């Protein structure tokens, strides 16, 4: 990163950390201590999810704290929301479960992209609110009342705005992985709506949309659409742009 980019990233990182704490504190003050974690547990139970230690209801990505000015950031990858592994106190890092391992493996197996998933990629999410599975957010929206509805929308809007500004400042690519819930009626419609406004005046934005790394859907989709006559980078740009236009409409 240039010195100016590093300074911007450093401010973003601290604001993100503070914002996660503010959301956590607000949830506790408004609805009572452990209200959010109880709602998350109820969502997991309703989905017959195996019991697990729920330790961090709103997760800041501590991997951001190890980045330095010397790091070359090539991509910002945006997943859905922190899962079981990501919210553990010993982790509190994004994409460290099976989906993250698949993402890491993809870049390791394609050295022509010159990208290390753990060194050249900033990993963010559409919301820092944890659920064991993303679909469980629907239960929380149905049963969490107006406060959760507002909290969930606010986290998406904040993440979309700050991620777009960070991407434009760093001059890197922005990959949205996991696109099903970005549609107008999806869980992350507030995120996609905010992003649409932020890039409205941008010609050919370096924003690509892909299937999620989870269950190897990213690679399956890529292999089904790849043009062997073109480079991998060209294929990724074509496929990601096509998905963006189909899902987001721009």
Q: What is the three-class DSSP state of 24?
A: helix
CATH code, domain with 186: 3.40.470
For the chain, how many structural domains are there in total? 1
Bridge partners (DSSP) listed for residue 217? none
Which one-letter DSSP state was computed for residue 53? -
Tell me the β-bridge partners of 207: 174
Average of pLDDT values for 156-181?
97
Give residue 46's pLDDT band: very low, low, confident or very high (50, 70, 90).
very high
Range of the domain at 111: 3-247
The residue written with tokens 């809007």 in the block is: 157
State phi, psi for 164 to the nearest 5 degrees: -65, -45
The predicted model scores a pTM of 0.96
**Of 228, 140, 123, which is closest to residue 178 (Cα–Cα)?**
123
Q: State the alpha helices, DSSP H only, in the chain.
A: 3-31, 35-46, 98-108, 137-143, 145-170, 189-198, 217-225, 232-247
Q: Can you read off the two tokens belonging to residue 208?
A: 């690509």
Where would I find the beta strands (DSSP E) of 82-126? Answer: 121-125
Q: How many beta carbons lie within 10 A of that of residue 230, not counting itself?
A: 12
**Which pLDDT belongs to residue 28?**
84
CA 150-196-173 angle, 5° bins: 110
pLDDT grade for 90, boundaries at 50, 70 and 90: very high
28-42 residue pLDDT tens: 887 777 899 999 999
- pLDDT tens across 53-87, in order? 999 999 999 999 999 999 999 999 999 999 999 99
Mean of per-residue pLDDT scores for the chain: 96
Task: Please enumerate in sequence order all residues whose Cβ is within 8 A of that of 90, keeping only pairs 6 or more positions apart, or say none.
Answer: none
């Amino acid at each position: 990163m240039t010195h100016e980019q590093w300074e911007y990233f450093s401010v973003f990182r601290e604001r993100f950390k503070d914002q996660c704490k503010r959301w956590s504190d607000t949830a506790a003050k408004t609805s009572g201590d452990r209200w959010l974690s109880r709602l998350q547990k109820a969502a997991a139970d309703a989905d017959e999810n195996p019991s697990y230690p729920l330790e961090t209801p709103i997760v800041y990505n501590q991997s951001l704290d190890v980045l330095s000015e010397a790091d070359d950031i090539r991509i910002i990858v945006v997943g859905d929301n922190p899962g079981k592994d990501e919210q553990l106190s010993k982790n509190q890092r994004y994409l460290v479960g099976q989906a993250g391992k698949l993402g890491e493996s993809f870049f390791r197996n394609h050295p022509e992209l010159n990208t290390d998933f753990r060194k050249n990629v900033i990993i963010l999410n559409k919301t820092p609110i944890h659920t064991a599975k993303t679909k469980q957010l629907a239960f929380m929206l149905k049963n969490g009342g107006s406060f959760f509805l507002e909290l969930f929308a606010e986290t998406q809007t904040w993440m979309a705005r700050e991620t777009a500004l960070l991407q434009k400042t760093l001059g890197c690519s922005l990959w949205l992985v996991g696109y099903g819930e970005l549609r107008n009626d999806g869980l992350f419609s507030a995120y996609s709506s905010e992003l649409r406004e932020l890039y409205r005046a941008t010609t050919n934005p370096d924003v690509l949309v892909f299937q999620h790394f989870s269950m190897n859907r990213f690679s399956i989709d890529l292999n089904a659409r790849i043009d062997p006559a073109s480079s991998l980078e060209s294929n990724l740009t074509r496929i990601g742009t096509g998905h963006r236009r189909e899902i987001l409409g721009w």
